[in-house]
Amino acid sequence: MWPALALMAMAALIGGLAWARRRLARLGEELGRQQRENLRLQVEQTQAMTRETGRQEALFHSMTEGVLVLDAQGRVQLVNQACRRLFNLPADVRGQTVMEAFRQHELLELTDRTLAEGRVLGAELTLARPENRSLQVNSSVFLDAQQRSQGTILVFHDVTRLRQLENTRREFVANVSHELRTPLSMIKGFVETLIDGAKDDPALCPRFLKTIEKHTDRLTYLIEDLLTISRLESGELVMNPLRVDAREVAQKVKDDLRPLADEKAVKVDNRVPEGTWVRADPDRLQQVLLNLTENALKYGRRQGEVVLAAQPAPEGQVRLWVADDGPGIPPEAQSRVFERFYRVDRARSRETGGTGLGLAIVKHIVQSHGGQVWLESVPGEGATFYFTLPAG
Ligand code: ADP
């Protein structure tokens, strides 16, 4: 009886042990699976974070604005590629102070003030190196979750082009005012002299009235040219390119300028070959040839010769030119004559009724047709103004 009971108890024990072993094995498997699962989740999270950090870094470096992050001690923490390019910084400036990395007192003052005042501040910096640049910079404090200051973040916008445009506009307005004021004060002066008695002097009166007329004409030309420039720049003056016979247009210009040519005893020769077809707005082409030929007559020599000519040019273009045998243009002025209001000889240009806008208009029109304009001149031997247009 006892052995049987003992056997039964032993069997139960062995059975229990086997069950416990199986259970333990299952538990072990379960634990292993959970550990593996946790590990997999951790790896996935780390990968996602790395991807996100990579994306943020790519965004940070592809921004067109320069970004600089400084810690609370004013040392560089982060700097993006745009900022590095703007200031021509070496590869790694992390840990350096603003003065060490940027050598800019204004920047140091700005960051100090931003930290002290705790608000967004803006300033404009002018850089001389690596090239002349104007930068608009905004700086602000960045805070942690407890609203404690962690440092400053600065964003730089390159406003060089904007400032250049503003300067050009300012200069233009100053020039226009000056150009308008000169003939106006002349007119006023002569009118006052006439009122004061010259009107009764038969010798002076007609001369003064002629001078007044000349200055009134100048004012009219100036306003016409200003309107043309403004319409060209605003795109209001639309080009209507047609197939145009360039020889015919040159002939019209030659005929229109005959009085001026006769006055200076200049021979105008239209050597544009028959069948020179270009693709251009006929009125604008006429204006280009008129401005260039009028200049050749105005600034060329008495009893000289002015030639209008053309020949085929590479890439489906036609090259046209107007040449004179006058005093020419000094080398230092050659790159500037296309600028608005630039004159080699201011007094001479005024005397001939020039506005200083003729070549600027020429350049604008030619470029609007996809062409180029340039000049060649040997002082003392004359000047030749070339331009290209698409062949028609
Ligand atoms: P302007 O109304 O003064 O003629 P332009 O823009 O037509 O203005 O020309 C600018 C300047 O270029 C002129 O004032 C003149 O000094 C110079 N210039 C233009 N064409 C000639 C030329 N054929 N020969 C010499 N100088 C010229």
Per-residue model confidence as pLDDT tens digits over 37-95:
888 888 888 888 888 888 888 888 889 999 999 998 999 999 999 999 999 998 889 99
| Average of per-residue pLDDT across 271-298 | 97
279 and 232 part of one domain: no
2 assigned to some structural domain: no
Helices (H), 196-279: 204-234, 246-256, 258-263
Where do the H-state alpha helices sit in 88-145?
Answer: 98-102, 105-117
Q: CATH no. for residue 119?
A: 3.30.450.20
Q: Is 38 domain-assigned? A: no
Contacts of 325 (CB under 8 A, 6+ apart): 300, 301, 304, 305, 381, 382
289 CA distance to ligand 1 centroid (A)? 14
Per-residue pLDDT for 25 more than 60?
A: yes
Of 226, 339, 349, best ligand 1 pocket probe by most atoms within 8 Å of the beta carbon: 349
- Structural domain containing residue 166: 160-237
What is the per-residue pLDDT across 311-325, written as a single tens digit (0 to 9) for each?
999 999 999 999 999
Q: Given this model, what pLDDT does residue 4 score? A: 56
Domain end call among 185, 203, 237: 237
Identify whether residues 245 and 392 lie together within a single domain: yes
In this structure, is residue 30 part of a structural domain?
no
Please compute the mean of the pLDDT values over residues 13-32 and round it to a whole number.
73
Q: Total structural domains in the chain?
A: 3
On the question of pLDDT at 131 being above 70, the answer is: yes
H or E stretch including 323?
A: strand 317-324
- For tokens 């500037």, the residue is 336
Domain boundary pick from 137, 158, 179: 158
Q: Indicate whether 338 pLDDT > 60.
A: yes
* Confidence grade of residue 6 (pLDDT, cut at 50, 70, 90): low
Same domain, 117 and 152: yes
Question: Does residue 292 sit in the same domain as residue 208?
Answer: no
The CATH number of the domain holding residue 191 is 1.10.287.130
Q: Are strands 317-324 and 305-313 parallel, antiparallel or unpaired?
A: antiparallel
Cβ atoms 108, 126 nearer than 8 A? no
Q: Taking Cα atoms as reference points, which of 113, 136, 112, 108 lies closest to residue 124?
A: 136
| Residues 269 and 366 both lie in one domain | yes
Residues 305 and 380 in one domain: yes
Cα separation of 137 and 144, whole Å?
A: 23
Is 389 in the same domain as 288?
yes
Share of the chain above pLDDT 90, in %: 62
Q: Is 250 exposed, middle or buried (0-12, 13-18, 19+ CB in 10 A)?
A: buried
Atom of ligand 1 nearest to the CA of 342: 10
Beta bridge partners of 136: 124, 157
The answer as to whether 55 is a domain residue is no
Over residues 107-131, mean pLDDT: 89
Closest residue (by CA) to atom 2 of ligand 1? Answer: 354
Q: Please name the amino acid found at residue 304.
A: G
Examine the domain organization and report whether 77 and 106 are in the same domain: yes
Residue 132 domain-assigned?
Answer: yes
350 lines ligand 1 (CB under 6 A): no
Whether pTM exceeds 0.85 = no
Helix (H) or strand (E) holding 310: strand 305-313
Domain membership of residue 35 (yes or no) is no
Same domain, 290 and 374: yes
* CATH code (residue 288): 3.30.565.10
**Which domain-ending residue is among 190, 213, 237?**
237
Instruction: Give the per-residue pLDDT at 1.
Output: 46
Tell me, yes or no, whether 292 and 387 share the same domain. yes
- Does residue 303 form part of some domain? yes
Do both 270 and 365 map to the same domain? Answer: yes
Residue 185 lies in a domain: yes
The residue whose CA has the least distance to atom 27 of ligand 1 is 299
Task: Indicate if 270 and 185 belong to the same structural domain.
Answer: no
- For 94, the token pair is 């992390």
Alpha carbons 240 and 136: distance in angstroms, whole number? 41
- Which has the closest alpha carbon to 83: 120, 133, 141? 133
What average pLDDT is seen over the chain? 90
